[in-house]
Protein backbone atom coordinates (compact mmCIF):
# COMPACT_ATOMS: atom_id res chain seq x y z
CA UNK A 1 0.00 0.00 0.00
CA UNK A 2 1.10 3.55 -0.69
CA UNK A 3 -1.26 6.39 0.19
CA UNK A 4 0.68 9.12 -1.59
CA UNK A 5 -1.03 10.84 -4.56
CA UNK A 6 -0.41 10.22 -8.27
CA UNK A 7 1.02 13.24 -10.14
CA UNK A 8 -0.43 14.33 -13.48
CA UNK A 9 0.98 16.98 -15.79
CA UNK A 10 -0.14 18.60 -19.01
CA UNK A 11 0.39 21.81 -20.94
CA UNK A 12 -3.05 22.86 -19.67
CA UNK A 13 -6.47 21.31 -19.08
CA UNK A 14 -6.08 18.36 -21.48
CA UNK A 15 -4.77 15.96 -18.85
CA UNK A 16 -8.12 16.26 -17.08
CA UNK A 17 -9.41 13.76 -19.63
CA UNK A 18 -7.01 11.22 -18.10
CA UNK A 19 -7.94 12.26 -14.55
CA UNK A 20 -11.65 11.77 -15.26
CA UNK A 21 -10.97 8.22 -16.36
CA UNK A 22 -8.72 7.63 -13.33
CA UNK A 23 -11.44 8.79 -10.96
CA UNK A 24 -13.90 6.47 -12.71
CA UNK A 25 -11.65 3.40 -12.71
CA UNK A 26 -9.62 3.94 -9.52
CA UNK A 27 -11.75 6.13 -7.24
CA UNK A 28 -9.68 5.43 -4.14
CA UNK A 29 -6.57 7.10 -5.64
CA UNK A 30 -5.63 10.71 -5.00
CA UNK A 31 -4.51 13.15 -7.70
CA UNK A 32 -2.10 16.08 -7.79
CA UNK A 33 -2.50 17.80 -11.15
CA UNK A 34 -0.47 20.59 -12.67
CA UNK A 35 -1.40 22.27 -15.95
CA UNK A 36 0.80 24.87 -17.62
CA UNK A 37 -2.04 26.85 -19.23
CA UNK A 38 0.01 30.07 -19.08
CA UNK A 39 2.36 28.60 -21.70
CA UNK A 40 -0.09 26.37 -23.61
CA UNK A 41 -0.20 25.25 -26.32
CA UNK A 42 3.05 23.27 -26.25
CA UNK A 43 2.37 21.71 -29.66
CA UNK A 44 3.86 24.47 -31.84
CA UNK A 45 6.90 25.02 -29.56
CA UNK A 46 10.44 23.78 -30.25
CA UNK A 47 11.37 20.41 -28.74
CA UNK A 48 13.96 21.90 -26.37
CA UNK A 49 11.41 24.24 -24.84
CA UNK A 50 8.84 21.45 -24.41
CA UNK A 51 11.55 19.44 -22.67
CA UNK A 52 12.47 22.29 -20.31
CA UNK A 53 8.83 23.13 -19.42
CA UNK A 54 7.95 19.47 -18.85
CA UNK A 55 10.89 19.05 -16.46
CA UNK A 56 9.66 22.11 -14.52
CA UNK A 57 6.25 20.45 -14.15
CA UNK A 58 7.89 17.18 -13.07
CA UNK A 59 9.99 18.97 -10.44
CA UNK A 60 6.85 20.68 -9.11
CA UNK A 61 5.05 17.33 -8.79
CA UNK A 62 8.03 15.85 -6.97
CA UNK A 63 7.67 18.55 -4.30
CA UNK A 64 4.16 17.13 -3.69
CA UNK A 65 5.55 13.73 -2.76
CA UNK A 66 3.88 11.78 -5.57
CA UNK A 67 4.30 8.01 -5.93
CA UNK A 68 3.98 7.96 -9.73
CA UNK A 69 3.95 10.53 -12.54
CA UNK A 70 1.60 10.45 -15.51
CA UNK A 71 2.70 12.57 -18.45
CA UNK A 72 -0.89 13.29 -19.48
CA UNK A 73 0.25 15.12 -22.61
CA UNK A 74 1.13 13.44 -25.90
CA UNK A 75 3.45 16.24 -26.96
CA UNK A 76 5.52 15.99 -23.77
CA UNK A 77 5.41 12.18 -23.93
CA UNK A 78 6.75 12.25 -27.50
CA UNK A 79 9.68 14.50 -26.57
CA UNK A 80 10.75 13.66 -23.05
CA UNK A 81 8.98 10.61 -21.55
CA UNK A 82 11.93 8.23 -22.08
CA UNK A 83 14.35 10.67 -20.46
CA UNK A 84 12.14 11.34 -17.42
CA UNK A 85 11.44 7.64 -17.00
CA UNK A 86 15.19 6.92 -16.95
CA UNK A 87 15.99 9.65 -14.43
CA UNK A 88 13.28 9.14 -11.79
CA UNK A 89 13.03 6.28 -9.35
CA UNK A 90 9.21 6.31 -9.32
CA UNK A 91 7.15 4.94 -12.23
CA UNK A 92 6.52 7.41 -15.08
CA UNK A 93 3.71 6.71 -17.54
CA UNK A 94 3.15 8.30 -20.94
CA UNK A 95 0.01 8.33 -23.07
CA UNK A 96 1.31 7.24 -26.47
CA UNK A 97 2.00 3.50 -26.14
CA UNK A 98 -1.41 2.71 -24.60
CA UNK A 99 -3.15 4.68 -27.37
CA UNK A 100 -1.16 2.94 -30.10
CA UNK A 101 -1.98 -0.50 -28.70
CA UNK A 102 -5.68 0.27 -28.34
CA UNK A 103 -5.88 1.57 -31.92
CA UNK A 104 -4.40 -1.63 -33.32
CA UNK A 105 -6.92 -3.67 -31.36
CA UNK A 106 -9.84 -1.53 -32.53
CA UNK A 107 -9.00 -1.46 -36.24
CA UNK A 108 -10.53 -4.07 -38.56
CA UNK A 109 -9.35 -2.58 -41.85
CA UNK A 110 -5.80 -1.64 -40.85
CA UNK A 111 -6.27 2.04 -41.73
CA UNK A 112 -5.70 4.15 -38.63
CA UNK A 113 -5.74 7.93 -38.45
CA UNK A 114 -3.84 9.92 -35.83
CA UNK A 115 -4.57 13.54 -34.97
CA UNK A 116 -2.34 15.51 -32.63
CA UNK A 117 -0.38 18.70 -32.11
CA UNK A 118 2.20 19.81 -34.68
CA UNK A 119 5.04 18.40 -32.55
CA UNK A 120 3.39 15.03 -31.92
CA UNK A 121 2.65 14.59 -35.63
CA UNK A 122 6.08 15.84 -36.68
CA UNK A 123 7.72 13.35 -34.29
CA UNK A 124 5.86 10.55 -36.13
CA UNK A 125 5.89 8.60 -32.88
CA UNK A 126 2.42 7.07 -33.29
CA UNK A 127 3.31 5.64 -36.70
CA UNK A 128 6.57 4.32 -35.26
CA UNK A 129 4.89 2.64 -32.26
CA UNK A 130 1.91 1.30 -34.24
CA UNK A 131 4.02 -0.11 -37.06
CA UNK A 132 6.54 -1.57 -34.63
CA UNK A 133 3.73 -3.66 -33.16
CA UNK A 134 1.80 -4.20 -36.41
CA UNK A 135 3.87 -3.36 -39.54
CA UNK A 136 0.98 -3.99 -41.96
CA UNK A 137 -1.10 -1.09 -40.59
CA UNK A 138 -1.35 2.13 -42.55
CA UNK A 139 -1.18 5.28 -40.45
CA UNK A 140 -2.56 8.56 -41.76
CA UNK A 141 -1.48 11.50 -39.57
CA UNK A 142 -2.82 15.02 -39.35
CA UNK A 143 -1.83 17.95 -37.14
CA UNK A 144 -4.77 19.94 -35.72
CA UNK A 145 -3.07 23.01 -34.23
CA UNK A 146 -6.34 24.89 -33.64
CA UNK A 147 -7.96 22.31 -31.36
CA UNK A 148 -6.02 22.73 -28.08
CA UNK A 149 -6.43 26.56 -28.00
CA UNK A 150 -10.23 26.11 -28.41
CA UNK A 151 -10.29 23.83 -25.40
CA UNK A 152 -8.04 26.10 -23.31
CA UNK A 153 -10.37 29.03 -23.94
CA UNK A 154 -13.43 26.92 -23.04
CA UNK A 155 -15.03 27.32 -26.46
CA UNK A 156 -15.80 23.64 -27.03
CA UNK A 157 -19.52 24.23 -27.53
CA UNK A 158 -19.18 27.32 -29.72
CA UNK A 159 -20.00 27.65 -33.39
CA UNK A 160 -16.32 28.47 -33.90
CA UNK A 161 -15.43 25.03 -32.53
CA UNK A 162 -17.79 23.37 -35.03
CA UNK A 163 -16.26 25.30 -37.89
CA UNK A 164 -12.68 24.57 -36.83
CA UNK A 165 -13.31 20.86 -36.31
CA UNK A 166 -15.09 20.48 -39.68
CA UNK A 167 -12.38 22.40 -41.52
CA UNK A 168 -9.44 20.75 -39.78
CA UNK A 169 -10.65 17.19 -40.31
CA UNK A 170 -11.60 17.72 -43.96
CA UNK A 171 -8.32 16.14 -45.21
CA UNK A 172 -9.38 12.85 -43.56
CA UNK A 173 -12.76 12.70 -45.31
CA UNK A 174 -11.51 10.45 -48.14
CA UNK A 175 -8.96 8.54 -46.05
CA UNK A 176 -11.25 5.55 -45.37
CA UNK A 177 -10.20 5.18 -41.76
CA UNK A 178 -11.99 2.88 -39.38
CA UNK A 179 -10.11 4.12 -36.30
CA UNK A 180 -8.92 7.56 -35.25
CA UNK A 181 -6.49 8.15 -32.38
CA UNK A 182 -7.13 11.34 -30.43
CA UNK A 183 -3.39 11.85 -30.02
CA UNK A 184 -3.71 14.89 -27.77
CA UNK A 185 -5.31 14.80 -24.34
CA UNK A 186 -7.22 18.00 -25.08
CA UNK A 187 -9.16 16.37 -27.93
CA UNK A 188 -11.64 14.20 -25.98
CA UNK A 189 -13.21 17.48 -24.85
CA UNK A 190 -14.10 17.94 -28.53
CA UNK A 191 -14.90 14.24 -28.86
CA UNK A 192 -18.62 14.52 -29.66
CA UNK A 193 -17.89 17.00 -32.42
CA UNK A 194 -15.03 14.94 -33.82
CA UNK A 195 -17.25 11.83 -33.83
CA UNK A 196 -19.96 13.71 -35.72
CA UNK A 197 -17.53 14.87 -38.38
CA UNK A 198 -15.82 11.49 -38.77
CA UNK A 199 -19.08 9.50 -38.75
CA UNK A 200 -20.23 6.74 -36.46
CA UNK A 201 -18.27 4.04 -38.32
CA UNK A 202 -14.96 5.45 -37.11
CA UNK A 203 -13.86 4.33 -33.61
CA UNK A 204 -12.24 7.11 -31.61
CA UNK A 205 -9.33 6.12 -29.37
CA UNK A 206 -8.79 8.27 -26.31
CA UNK A 207 -5.08 7.82 -25.67
CA UNK A 208 -5.30 9.33 -22.20
CA UNK A 209 -8.12 7.13 -21.02
CA UNK A 210 -6.29 4.08 -22.36
CA UNK A 211 -3.29 4.85 -20.16
CA UNK A 212 -5.37 4.42 -16.98
CA UNK A 213 -5.22 0.66 -17.56
CA UNK A 214 -1.40 0.92 -17.46
CA UNK A 215 -1.59 3.01 -14.29
CA UNK A 216 -3.69 0.30 -12.69
CA UNK A 217 -1.30 -2.47 -13.75
CA UNK A 218 1.72 -0.63 -12.35
CA UNK A 219 -0.02 0.19 -9.07
CA UNK A 220 -0.75 -3.49 -8.64
CA UNK A 221 2.67 -4.65 -9.77
CA UNK A 222 4.59 -2.33 -7.44
CA UNK A 223 1.94 -2.62 -4.69
CA UNK A 224 1.37 1.11 -4.73
CA UNK A 225 -2.41 1.15 -4.41
CA UNK A 226 -3.93 3.64 -2.01
CA UNK A 227 -5.75 1.91 0.80
CA UNK A 228 -9.55 1.95 0.81
CA UNK A 229 -9.30 2.71 4.52
CA UNK A 230 -7.23 5.89 3.92
CA UNK A 231 -10.35 8.07 3.78
CA UNK A 232 -11.93 9.82 0.81
CA UNK A 233 -9.59 11.30 -1.79
CA UNK A 234 -8.67 14.98 -1.69
CA UNK A 235 -7.43 15.91 -5.11
CA UNK A 236 -5.20 18.96 -5.63
CA UNK A 237 -5.21 20.99 -8.86
CA UNK A 238 -2.65 23.62 -9.85
CA UNK A 239 -2.46 25.86 -12.88
CA UNK A 240 0.10 28.40 -14.03
CA UNK A 241 -2.72 30.60 -15.43
CA UNK A 242 -6.07 31.71 -13.99
CA UNK A 243 -7.42 29.37 -11.29
CA UNK A 244 -10.98 30.47 -12.07
CA UNK A 245 -10.86 29.59 -15.73
CA UNK A 246 -9.17 26.22 -15.00
CA UNK A 247 -11.83 25.51 -12.39
CA UNK A 248 -14.71 26.27 -14.79
CA UNK A 249 -13.40 23.79 -17.37
CA UNK A 250 -12.37 21.18 -14.80
CA UNK A 251 -15.62 21.19 -12.83
CA UNK A 252 -17.77 20.83 -15.92
CA UNK A 253 -15.55 18.01 -17.29
CA UNK A 254 -15.10 16.15 -13.99
CA UNK A 255 -18.65 16.83 -12.82
CA UNK A 256 -17.54 17.65 -9.30
CA UNK A 257 -16.43 20.74 -7.40
CA UNK A 258 -12.69 21.10 -6.96
CA UNK A 259 -10.18 23.52 -5.47
CA UNK A 260 -7.64 25.05 -7.81
CA UNK A 261 -4.55 27.03 -6.90
CA UNK A 262 -2.43 29.22 -9.11
CA UNK A 263 1.24 28.35 -9.11
CA UNK A 264 4.31 30.01 -10.63
CA UNK A 265 6.88 27.47 -11.71
N1 LIG B 1 -2.57 18.08 -24.28
C2 LIG B 1 -1.41 18.06 -25.06
C3 LIG B 1 -1.14 16.80 -25.81
O4 LIG B 1 -1.66 15.77 -25.45
C5 LIG B 1 -0.84 19.28 -25.67
C6 LIG B 1 -1.67 20.34 -26.27
C7 LIG B 1 -0.79 21.53 -26.52
O8 LIG B 1 -0.40 22.15 -25.53
O9 LIG B 1 -0.46 21.82 -27.67
O10 LIG B 1 -0.39 16.79 -26.73
pLDDT at position 205, please?
98
Structural domain count of the chain: 2
> The domain containing residue 232 runs over which residues?
6-94+209-262
Q: Do 123 and 202 share a domain, yes or no?
A: yes
Q: Is residue 85 part of a domain?
A: yes
**Ligand 1 atom nearest to CA at 185:** 4
pLDDT at position 258, please?
96
Q: Do 213 and 90 share a domain, yes or no?
A: yes
Other Cβ atoms within 10 Å of 1 Cβ, number: 10
**Ligand 1 atom nearest to CA at 40:** 8
Could you tell me the pLDDT band of residue 6, with boundaries at 50, 70 and 90? very high
54 lines ligand 1 (CB under 6 A): no
Could you tell me the pLDDT band of residue 72, with boundaries at 50, 70 and 90? very high
Q: What is the pLDDT of residues 242-255, one digit of tens each?
A: 999 999 999 999 99
229 C-alpha vs ligand 1 centroid, how far in Å? 35
pLDDT at position 64, please?
98
Residues 6+ apart with CB under 8 A from 76: 9, 10, 11, 42, 50, 53, 54, 57
Alpha-carbon span 49 to 58, nearest angstrom: 14
183 lines ligand 1 (CB under 6 A): no
Instruction: Kindly state the average pLDDT of the residues 2-14.
Output: 98
Q: Do 102 and 177 share a domain, yes or no?
A: yes
| Annotation: binding site for substrate | 10-11, 42-43, 74-75, 185-186
Q: What is the pLDDT of residues 188-212, one digit of tens each?
A: 999 999 999 999 999 999 988 899 9
Q: Is residue 28 part of a domain?
A: yes
Q: Which of 83, 148, 84 is nearest to 121 (CA)?
A: 148
Could you tell me the pLDDT band of residue 158, with boundaries at 50, 70 and 90? very high
Q: Do 222 and 134 share a domain, yes or no?
A: no
Q: Are 39 and 240 in contact (CB under 8 A)?
A: yes
Q: Do 32 and 45 share a domain, yes or no?
A: yes
Q: Do 100 and 200 share a domain, yes or no?
A: yes
Q: Which helix (H) or strand (E) covers residue 6, if one does?
A: strand 6-10
Show which of 168, 184, 207 is a domain's final residue: 207
Catalytic residue among 72, 115, 184, 241: 184
Residues 6+ apart with CB under 8 A from 199: none
Q: Are 136 and 206 in contact (CB under 8 A)?
A: no
Q: Do 84 and 124 share a domain, yes or no?
A: no
Question: Catalytic residue at 73?
Answer: yes
Q: What is the pLDDT of residues 79-93, one digit of tens each?
A: 999 999 999 999 999
185 C-alpha vs ligand 1 centroid, how far in Å? 6
Show which of 163, 190, 207 is a domain's final residue: 207
Q: Do 127 and 112 share a domain, yes or no?
A: yes
219 lines ligand 1 (CB under 6 A): no
Q: Do 216 and 194 share a domain, yes or no?
A: no
Q: What is the pLDDT of residues 104-114, one digit of tens each?
A: 999 999 999 99
Show which of 179, 207, 235 is a domain's final residue: 207
Q: Do 188 and 105 share a domain, yes or no?
A: yes
Q: Is residue 1 part of a domain?
A: no
Write down the mean pLDDT value for the chain.
97
pLDDT at position 208, please?
86
Length of the chain: 265
Q: Is residue 32 part of a domain?
A: yes
Q: Do 90 and 217 share a domain, yes or no?
A: yes
Question: Catalytic residue at 144?
Answer: no
240 lines ligand 1 (CB under 6 A): no
Q: Do 40 and 74 share a domain, yes or no?
A: yes
Q: Is residue 250 part of a domain?
A: yes
Other Cβ atoms within 10 Å of 109 Cβ, number: 11
Whichever domain contains 148, its CATH number is 3.40.50.1860
Catalytic residue among 9, 22, 73, 112: 73
Amino acid sequence: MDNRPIGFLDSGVGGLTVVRELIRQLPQEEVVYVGDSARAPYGPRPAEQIREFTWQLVRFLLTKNVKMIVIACNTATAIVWEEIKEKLDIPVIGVILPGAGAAIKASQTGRIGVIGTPMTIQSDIYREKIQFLAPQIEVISLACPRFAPLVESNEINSSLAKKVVYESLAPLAEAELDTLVLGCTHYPLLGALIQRVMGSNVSLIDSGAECVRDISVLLNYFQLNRSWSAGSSRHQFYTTASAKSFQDIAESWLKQTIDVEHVDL
